[in-house]
Amino acid sequence: MYLTRFRLNTARPGARRLLSTPQAMHAAVMSSFPDLLPTADQTPRVLWRLDRNATAEVFLYIVSPHRPDLTHLVEQAGWPAAAASGTPGWQTYAYTPFLERLDKGTFWNFRLTANPVHYARTKDDQPTTKRTAHLTPKHQLEWLLQRQDTGGFRILVKPQDRQLTEHGDEHQVIVRDQRGLDFGKKGSRGRVTLTTVTYDGRLEVTDPDALRRVLTAGLGKAKAYGCGLMTLAPLG
């Protein structure tokens, strides 16, 4: 497995086009793997996420089973002249050694962009349900908390004197950057509508194997559109 980071040059039209729709970014990410020929039966999971730290500081993160080649992204949405001087324009790291070192009981900062949804009845008197986005921070956090046990992690709780439980913020996590996305689906007249949020917080590893699956296979829906990728960073 590999973890890759690429900074987009947001002043360039190519970068603005990629950032305008997850459909375009997904196509650009998948074009980074010349040997990846997905079929209907078996498609290696490639996860990606955009971190918008500031207007001019946007990073693309990719977790993939193969090492990517982002030359086309550098040419379209990066700094080609700087890349020509000897730096490739992106950083790729071997991810497997880090994953193998994850231990139960260790603590980490985490970031996750996800598509928190639930299934609601379309009509009160009918059993049919429809996938619906969670729209409030409270329910978006509950969505994540419900996935702790199977995901192999536990979100840390704040010290007692820092809790404001009446507002539901007893956990060490922030739910932010809610985005409503609406874009056309390639090859179809239909449209895709998504609500995404980003979680920043701290967690404890409770089941390393389960957490490795989350880190490499993603969490939740809409993985093709920049959701599901969780990354860890040391505390402090």
The angle at the Cα of 8, spanning 25 to 10, to the nearest 5 degrees, equals: 100
Tracing tokens 């992690």 back to the chain, one arrives at: 153
Neighbours of 33 (CB within 10 A): 18
Q: Which residues pair with 149 in a beta bridge?
A: none
Alpha-carbon gap, residue 219 to 203, rounded angstroms: 15
Closest CA to 172 of 182, 183, 164: 164
Contact indicator for 226, 49 with CB cutoff of 8 Å: yes
Q: Which domains does the chain have, with CATH numbers?
A: 2-99 (3.30.70.1200), 103-233 (3.30.70.1210)
The angle at the Cα of 57, spanning 178 to 175, to the nearest 5 degrees, equals: 25
3-state secondary structure (DSSP) of residue 194: strand
Tracing tokens 């046990």 back to the chain, one arrives at: 149
pLDDT by residue, tens only, the chain of 236 residues? 999 999 999 999 999 999 999 999 999 999 999 877 655 444 568 999 999 998 889 999 999 999 999 999 999 999 998 777 777 889 999 999 999 999 999 999 999 999 998 777 555 555 666 778 777 899 999 999 999 999 999 999 988 766 555 555 789 999 999 988 777 777 667 787 889 999 999 999 999 999 999 999 999 999 999 999 999 999 97
Q: How far apart are the first and last CA of the chain?
A: 26
Enter the pTM of the model. 0.88
